[in-house]
Amino acid sequence: MTKIEKKIVVAGEGSAEKLAKRLEERGLSVLGPAPDRIIEYNGEESPVVMVLRRIKDFSWLVFTSRMGVDIFFETLYDHGFDIRRLHHLKIACIGEDTEKDLNKRGIQATYVSKKYNGKALAEGLISLVGDHEWLLLIRAKGCTDALPEFLEEKGLYYEDIAIYEEIFL
């Protein structure tokens, strides 16, 4: 059985982001403060609802967080979207926790990044994504641009959808 250690690191204002980035680059999961509230972007004219109308244009559905999975599937339900319309999609996600949220919905991920960062996810996808396949990224507004930047650098096609925003007061 693998022993999992959890450590708490406290950083001063201004240095926390730099420290978190260095830890994530080394494959560690970094938790920041909990947001004060979450704004969901899932109204009738929201980007996610608009893109669902053309879901057949995508080959991959990519989740970067558990919150993204939850809001995405709640949006499907709220708008009467038939989940069978996702049958053609391959699914990728960051980390085992995000994968578990998919599994709770009876969905198996095609690819799961073991490191909890966008670059690691992108690196894993490079060898799996075929020519002219489009990826639909389901992410938080304002999150790091490492994933889309790396995908763009490698010439992969994607659409980036902000499905929620974390508000810190």
Q: Give pLDDT tens digits for 1-13.
A: 555 555 656 555 5
Q: Decide if pLDDT at 39 tops 80.
A: yes
Residue 133 binned pLDDT confidence (cut-offs 50, 70, 90): very high
CB 124 within 8 A of CB 113: yes
* pTM listed for this prediction: 0.79
Model pLDDT for residues 53-68, shown as the tens digit of each residue = 999 999 999 999 999 9
Q: Name the residue with higher pLDDT: 20 or 162.
A: 162
35-167 is classed CATH 3.40.50.10090: yes
- State which amino acid sits at residue 28: L
Domain spans, the chain: 35-167
- State which amino acid sits at residue 2: T
**Six-digit token string for 26:** 């080394």
* Cα angle value 109/84/93 (rounded, 5°): 20
